[in-house]
Chain A
Amino acid sequence: MTQEELIEQLKDQIIKALSLEDITPADIDADAPLFGEGLGLDSIDAIELILLLEKEYGIKVEDPRQRREILASVRTMAKFIEDNGKA
């Protein structure tokens, strides 16, 4: 799977996990910040995204300090999955 294919898959999974009913994958900019600006997600969503990585890709984020960097955007999430050999 290429990174772009992984990004599209992640967008679908994020929409489903966070119940973003009015958002389509095309609305999500892969490089836009997920928190604050962009989708405007919050800390509960961060927990859901960490669970998503573990449930869907089997990757556990052991170091809480890594989370901000991993969850910065859809592309950083995709890169993290690739770096862990799960793509």
Chain B
Amino acid sequence: MMEEKKRKIGVYICHCGGNISDHVDVEAVREQVEEQYGVTVARTSMFTCSDASQNEMMKDIQEQGLDGMVVASCSPKLHLTTFRNMSTRAGLNPFQYVQVNIREQCSWAHADDHEGATCKAANLVGAGIEKVMRQEALQPIRVTSVKRVLVIGAGIAGLRAALELADLGVEVFLIEKEPAVGGMVGRLGEMFPADKNGVELIAMLLAEVKKRPNITLFLNAELAEKSGHIGEFELTIRIRNAAAADRTEEAVRIQVGAILVASGFAEYEPKPGEYGFGQPGVVTLSEFERLLQEGGEKLLHDGSEVKKIAFVYCVGSRQGQETENANRWCSRYCCSAAAHLAVQAKKKFPGAQCYHFYRDMRTYGKFESLYEEAGKSGSLFLRFDAEHPPRVEKNGGSWLVTVQDLLTGGDEVAVPADLVVLVTGMTARANDELTCVLKLPLGAERFYNEIHPKLRPVETVIDGVYIAGSCQGPKNAGESVVSSLAAVAKAAALLIKGYVDLQPFVAYVKADLCAWCGQCAAACPYSAIEKVTYGDKEVAQVVDVLCKGCGACLPVCPLDATQLKGYTDEQIEAMIDVLAREAAHEG
């Protein structure tokens, strides 16, 4: 155990102005922990993150030969990297640094109990010291990387990603499942705000792709197999020969350093009978979009002229608990899309009258102008609550949409309509094979899940695999491109330097304890544990570059042979011992 050799640990406790010291007696905490075994120096500081304090810490590391450090301050989400970098600059292994959160999880949470907060802070800092006492120096796991990226999906997000990566000097393989590029945008007419035509926009991007020799585009292509790891993925692309009578397939092997998934979404398909869906005169949002594009002097549907159009909002979005596998989310783009289509319909066919049956009008940001424009051009808005959705019923050869309109105090209003447009939302695309091959986690909404929605929004737990566009959740075209360029930045930053440093907090197996039962390998979701020979027995061994450090292998080992670096039994139990210790006055 590491504590057999006397450690030299520096402990720094932050006032954070008064954010911490207004509620925690930081001097009392310092006095208590400076006596703890292994502590060489314990100081308080008004702001530990300030340059002056960091310089003092660096001086202590160098002059006093510190081999471990604890900073008790704010959440590690804010300054873990700051202090790890400082440790590195001073020559201390950055993984011998532990940050203890005595602000968000202490002073602020217990501002009503100063004594309790001070006792708790002392325990938390003590536990941090015990953790670092048992922390070995670690090195990042460094793997080489090839400057090639696979982009999955050639919609607007994938095309833009491919172009940017290519211009950064990264070779790109761009694969598209369909026979043509473009995705959803490739089927659109005029788009807000500049009335740029979606078909033309995609054609322009495709022309740019064709100009770049370092982009290879495969149509009718899907990812079939993946092995290897970040920096060096070995992939098999399956390409269907759509022209051949027997629809033969070809497999292409490629090696890439990163994968960018921009596989898009699926439009919600209403159930038969849902607001009349499935019958003539009831269409989805995208079907109405195509109808508008058809042109002609009159707006026609099934040969009949359409004058009265009823838009029913939130179809397939914001569903209540009573719906099986409910789509609970707001699809975000559809209010704006419907308002835009109503404005376009009125421009092209001035005789058209649009009625909007909506729950809440979410034309956020600059899309608010669409709502205003729709209103000014004669659209009428009727608002319903979720408990009383509109009824869509046959009315001779047309439809009658009835609603309790909240805008007129709940009066029942019945509107005859030639065409009912269901404002259908976005759902996750069925990508079972891709999900399985990449081992990408899905969120509750069945879209791909990022590591953190705010702090790491395009990264996934699979190192080197990034997500972009609407495969992650509802987004409009602009937002999809924003996320795709963010993913480009992450992937390019990773590959251009030629190597990748991985976090070293991975699992390992104590071979002397292991008796290979296979339970850890079965529990590992990343196939990171293999069976190897150790002396005269078989044991489990962790492949460092495949391990994501989740620790799912820990509780299944009957012999406690599997451990996680940074979270070993010795560390966790020593922390528990300190945290459980009551101060003399505590009751």
Q: Do A and B come from one complex?
A: no
Residues in chain B within 8 A of chain A (CB atoms):
none
